[in-house]
């Protein structure tokens, strides 16, 4: 299953719902990605896809500085799972693919 494409994410955080756009693409045979939200674009690290499970890490500075770990399950053009920042409780993440990859 390919997870490539553009995904709109909704993250239910303790400070309110946050939106982000995730772009996943294959380059040189490896899966890469970037996330855009709150006027910043950050690269994804540790990006792995095993079956329908997709995991990655990213660091953000807005609305506050956090190091996030995502663990989601992808079902066709939808995803659902969690994002966790350090010792804080995990928050719910949902998303849908808005466009396939054009790489």
- pLDDT score of 103 more than 80: no
Q: How far is CA 68 from CA 16, 79, 102, in A?
A: 16, 17, 27
- pLDDT score of 1 more than 70: no
What range does the domain containing 44 cover?
Answer: 5-99
Mean pLDDT across 25-48: 94
Identify the CATH number of the domain in which residue 17 sits. 2.40.128.120
- pTM (global) more than 0.85: yes
Q: How many domains does the chain have?
A: 1
């Amino acid at each position: 299953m390919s997870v490539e494409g553009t995904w709109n994410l909704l993250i239910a955080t303790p400070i309110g719902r946050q939106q982000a756009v995730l772009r996943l693409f294959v380059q040189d045979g490896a899966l890469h990605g970037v996330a855009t939200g709150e006027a910043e674009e950050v690269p994804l690290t540790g990006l792995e896809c095993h079956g329908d499970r997709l995991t990655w890490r990213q660091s953000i500075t807005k609305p506050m500085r956090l190091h996030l770990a995502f663990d989601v399950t992808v079902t066709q053009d939808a995803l659902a799972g969690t994002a966790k920042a350090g010792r804080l409780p995990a928050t719910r993440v949902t998303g849908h693919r808005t466009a396939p990859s054009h790489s």
